[in-house]
Amino acid sequence: MGALLTLDRLNVFYGAIHALRDVSLTVNAGEVVTLIGANGAGKSTTLRAITGLLTPASGRMVFDGEDIAGVAAHKLVARGLSMSPEGRGVFANLTVRENLEMGAYLVRDRAAIAAGLERSFTLFPRLKERSKQRAGTLSGGEQQMLAMARALMSAPRLLLLDEPSLGLAPLVCQTIFDTIDSIKAAGTTVLLVEQNANAALKHSDRGYVLETGGVILEGASAELATHPRVREAYLGEGG
Amino acid sequence: MRATQKLAWTAATLVVLLGLNQIFEHGFGDFQINPYYARVIELIGINITLAVSLNLINGVAGQFSIGHAGFMAVGGYVGTYLTVYYGAAVTGWFGVGVTDAVGGSIAMVVSLIGGAIAAGVAGLAVGIPSLRLKGDYLAIVTLGFGEIIRVIILNIPSVGGATGFTDAIPITNFFWIFAMAILTIVIVRNLTASTFGRALATIRDDEVAAEAIGIGTTWHKVMAFAVSAALAGVAGALSGQLFANPLNPQNLNFVKSIEVIIMIVLGGVGSITGAVLGATTLTILPEVLRGFDQEFPGLRMVMYALLLILMMIFRPQGLLGRREFGWHWLRWPNRSRIPVALTEAGDTKAHTPAPPGDPRSALGEGDEEGDSRG
């Protein structure tokens, strides 16, 4: 089990604001790793740095043995790193099926695209029912499913999920988290950024807790879930 | 379509266009077309080229450009310049004069290609720096570009400066105008239907997500912009060499760009047939309203503005919305079978079960033009 993604003392600035302070983390192949923390802790900034939307001031980012600092997001897809962006970002005017096909934009092999579609529909049977519908007409939960399925269409080795449970009803959240288990079982490594710390820790192997731009805690998810600091700050248990 | 079928269609289109051109330019028996109507039809053709090409960048790719007149000016002046200063030399190699039927066509081809290349290169120069950024920078840069081009032209005496390019040789005719309009429609339609066009549609819907699935958004936007600009250049070259219709920097200001935008907004942003309809309507409308000026001078433009306002109030999504006009419209009541109409039923469903506390479901989709169908 080697490290698929390693961030080493990453520093990112928004102008004068020091958004990430020496963030180091490792995602091993086959794991689900979660990044939890409050609003503004630097979770999304970390993902933006990984996907090349922000250029770090210092530090190293290595994906599959190659330095990816400053590599544009669209070029990372070809290397096997795919992201389901925050707020879903489905293509509202395309149908569900077209959205999925666009997820395989870089895949030239028709059989692989067909297999990807089949995989998506097995993972999310709801999407199969809706395949001819415009994505903009889907419910929030269905759009989230579509965004995840679309990110999987390029058959990535590492899937980045940015706040997949944001704004969803509890029951739908459960479906989404159960799917993360299935994605892991199918062999895809996942880096999950979540505000819902409880569920995220339940469905991941290891976790990192971010606060004001730095990692304050890391460890096995089961241990983090019982850590007093985490329980107090993120799981709603006072003192 | 198979290659032979394509060839047959192309040949048939050319024959029809040449036939119509013969009637249009030289009459048929005793029939002579009224020169006033002829001019309106010619302007319709040029405006179709302008509107359909602008639709590629503004409608399909969702990047707001307000400098279409600038690209029209670049292509128009370069194309006309080529004919005026090099036309005779080029046609001389073939042993014909610029004003002959054959010579005029040769000069026209050179002029159109030159104008398209010049405008396309200008499109690259404007697009590369401004389309790297996400957001409304393109609108600001294209607005500035249009004005810069206008001021530059004003100060070049060899193309007429402020008096306009009156040395132009009138080699534009019905055939070239409509051949180019059809070519533009075919190019934009094929691009839209291709993988490239699908990528543009994803950029329009969500640029970050497009990036996240591996689409190089900058490259796609710049290419679409350059093609759009090149086609505007073609329209410019046609317009500048129309009989008694010299290019004039005063007419190629940003008001002209806005006029083209109105055409595509009126027709339905993103719809090619909508752009054709919008261009046709907005070219004819001011002429139809001309009668008002005989009663009260100036009333025409008031009526024109009023009609535009009314159309935008009652059909804010444009005459066709995002839909394309086609034969399926005649198969009533089967219109619900076409995919876009199908989603109209879905729209109402999407607005009802908005999960509370989900800002996207409340705001996210509502601002899509396509969803505001009433």
B336 touches chain A (CB under 8 A): no
B170 touches chain A (CB under 8 A): no
A61 φ, ψ to 5°?
A: -125, 120
Name the domain count of chain A: 2
- pLDDT recorded at residue B364: 36
Query: Does the pLDDT value for residue B260 go beyond 60?
Result: yes
A153 touches chain B (CB under 8 A): yes
A150's enclosing H/E stretch is helix A140-152
Confidence class for position B161, pLDDT limits 50, 70, 90 = confident
- Can you list the positions of beta strands (E) in A71-176? 81-84, 158-162
Query: Does the pLDDT value for residue B336 go beyond 60?
Result: no
Query: Does the pLDDT value for residue B321 go beyond 70?
Result: yes
Question: How many residue pairs bridge chain A and chain B with CB atoms within 8 Å of each other?
Answer: 120
* Whether residue A174 is found in the same domain as residue A229: yes
* B344-361: average pLDDT: 39
- pLDDT recorded at residue B100: 83
Residue B282 to residues A114, B261, B270, B276, Cα–Cα distance (Å): 46, 11, 17, 10
CA distance B169 to B99: 8
* B229-233: average pLDDT: 97
* Residue ending a domain, choose from A128, A152, A176: A152
pLDDT in tens, B277-312: 999 999 998 888 887 878 788 887 888 888 888 888
Q: Which residue of A has its CA nearest to B322?
A: A93
* Whether residue A166 is found in the same domain as residue A140: no
Residue-range definition of the domain harbouring residue A102: 83-152
Query: Does the pLDDT value for residue A132 go beyond 90?
Result: yes
pLDDT in tens, B125-150: 999 998 887 767 888 999 999 999 99
DSSP A87: T
Q: With beta carbons less than 8 A apart as the criterion, state whether B63 and B57 touch.
A: yes
Of A84-98, A213-227, B93-107, B353-367, where does mean pLDDT reach its minimum? B353-367
Q: Which residue of A has its CA nearest to B351?
A: A137
- Best residue in B192, B195, B211, B361 for a mutation probing chain A (most A CBs within 10 Å): B211
Query: Does the pLDDT value for residue B333 go beyond 60?
Result: no
Which residues of chain B does A105 touch, with a Cβ-Cβ cutoff of 8 Å?
195, 199, 213-215
* B47-51: average pLDDT: 96
Q: Which of B211, B241, B218, B217 is nearest to B76 (CA)?
A: B241
- pLDDT recorded at residue B305: 86
Q: Which residue of A has its CA nearest to B133?
A: A53
Of A4-13, B6-15, B332-341, where does mean pLDDT reach its minimum? B332-341
Q: With beta carbons less than 8 A apart as the criterion, state whether B342 and B336 touch.
A: yes
Edge-to-edge strands, sheet with A81-84: A81-84, A158-162, A189-194, A32-36, A206-211, A214-220
* Whether residue A178 is found in the same domain as residue A73: yes
The verdict on a CB contact (< 8 Å) between A89 and B355 is no
Closest-CA distance of chain A to residue B5, Å: 27
Which residues of chain B does A72 touch, with a Cβ-Cβ cutoff of 8 Å?
211, 216
* Whether residue A35 is found in the same domain as residue A99: no
B350 touches chain A (CB under 8 A): yes
Q: Which residue of A has its CA nearest to B361?
A: A140
CATH of residue A98: 1.10.8
User: And the tokens for B137?
Assistant: 């920078």
Classify strands A58-63 and A206-211 as parallel, antiparallel or unpaired.
unpaired
* Whether residue A65 is found in the same domain as residue A4: yes
* Whether residue A25 is found in the same domain as residue A120: no
* Whether residue A76 is found in the same domain as residue A161: yes
B209 touches chain A (CB under 8 A): yes
Which residues of chain A does B347 touch, with a Cβ-Cβ cutoff of 8 Å?
136-137
Q: Give the dihedral of Cα atoms B239, B245, B247, B252; nearest 10 deg.
A: -80
Confidence class for position A192, pLDDT limits 50, 70, 90 = very high
- pLDDT recorded at residue A39: 81
CA distance B41 to B160: 27
Closest-CA distance of chain B to residue A133, Å: 6
- B349 vs A78, A137, A151: nearest CB: A137
Alpha helices in chain B (DSSP H): 3-26, 35-55, 68-93, 101-131, 137-154, 174-193, 195-205, 207-212, 217-240, 254-267, 272-288, 290-295, 299-314, 339-351, 359
* Whether residue A70 is found in the same domain as residue A170: yes
DSSP states along A192-234:
EEES-HHHHHHT-SEEEEEETTEEEEEEEHHHHHH-HHHHHHH
Closest-CA distance of chain A to residue B180, Å: 30
pLDDT over 90, % of chain A:
60
Query: Does the pLDDT value for residue B155 go beyond 90?
Result: yes
DSSP A86: T
- pLDDT recorded at residue B334: 46
Confidence class for position B331, pLDDT limits 50, 70, 90 = low
pLDDT in tens, A94-128: 999 999 999 999 888 889 999 999 999 999 999 99
* Whether residue A238 is found in the same domain as residue A162: yes
- B6's CB contacts (< 8 A; 6+ apart) are none
- pLDDT recorded at residue B332: 54
Longest dimension (CA), chain A: 57
* Whether residue A184 is found in the same domain as residue A233: yes
Write the single-letter amino acid at B20.
L
Write the single-letter amino acid at A182.
S
- pLDDT recorded at residue B324: 79
Query: Does the pLDDT value for residue B362 go beyond 70?
Result: no
CATH of residue A6: 3.40.50.300
Collapse the DSSP code of A39 into the 3-class scheme (helix H, G, I; strand E, B; otherwise coil) and give the result. Answer: coil
Which residues of chain A does B204 touch, with a Cβ-Cβ cutoff of 8 Å?
93
The verdict on a CB contact (< 8 Å) between B360 and A102 is no
pLDDT in tens, A214-238: 999 999 999 998 888 888 777 665 5
- B353 vs A85, A139, A147: nearest CB: A139
* Whether residue A21 is found in the same domain as residue A44: yes
- pLDDT recorded at residue B187: 96
- pLDDT recorded at residue B75: 96
* Residue ending a domain, choose from A135, A152, A169: A152
User: And the tokens for A229?
Assistant: 């600091």
DSSP A23: E
The verdict on a CB contact (< 8 Å) between B364 and A138 is no
pLDDT in tens, A69-92: 878 888 999 999 999 988 888 999
* Whether residue A75 is found in the same domain as residue A165: yes
* A207-214: average pLDDT: 91
- pLDDT recorded at residue B325: 76
The verdict on a CB contact (< 8 Å) between B212 and A77 is yes
User: And the tokens for A65?
Assistant: 């043995």
- pLDDT recorded at residue A230: 83
Q: Which residue of A has its CA nearest to B354?
A: A139
Query: Does the pLDDT value for residue A59 go beyond 70?
Result: yes
Longest dimension (CA), chain B: 77
Q: Which residue of A has its CA nearest to B207?
A: A89
pLDDT in tens, A141-157: 999 999 999 999 999 99
Closest-CA distance of chain B to residue A64, Å: 18
Q: Which residue of A has its CA nearest to B370?
A: A93
- pLDDT recorded at residue B369: 39
Confidence class for position B9, pLDDT limits 50, 70, 90 = very high
* Residue ending a domain, choose from A132, A152, A172: A152
Helices B195-205 and B217-240 meet at what angle, rounded to 10?
A: 110
Q: Which of residues 37-76 of A touch B (CB under 8 A)?
A: 51, 53, 72-75
- pLDDT recorded at residue B323: 76
- pLDDT recorded at residue A7: 93
Which residues of chain B does A137 touch, with a Cβ-Cβ cutoff of 8 Å?
343, 346-347, 349-350
* B263-275: average pLDDT: 89
> What ipTM was predicted for this assembly?
0.85
Per the omega criterion (within 30 degrees of 0), is the bond before B333 cis? yes
- pLDDT recorded at residue B351: 39
The verdict on a CB contact (< 8 Å) between B359 and A167 is yes
CA distance B272 to B192: 10
- pLDDT recorded at residue B330: 64
B113 φ, ψ to 5°?
A: -65, -45
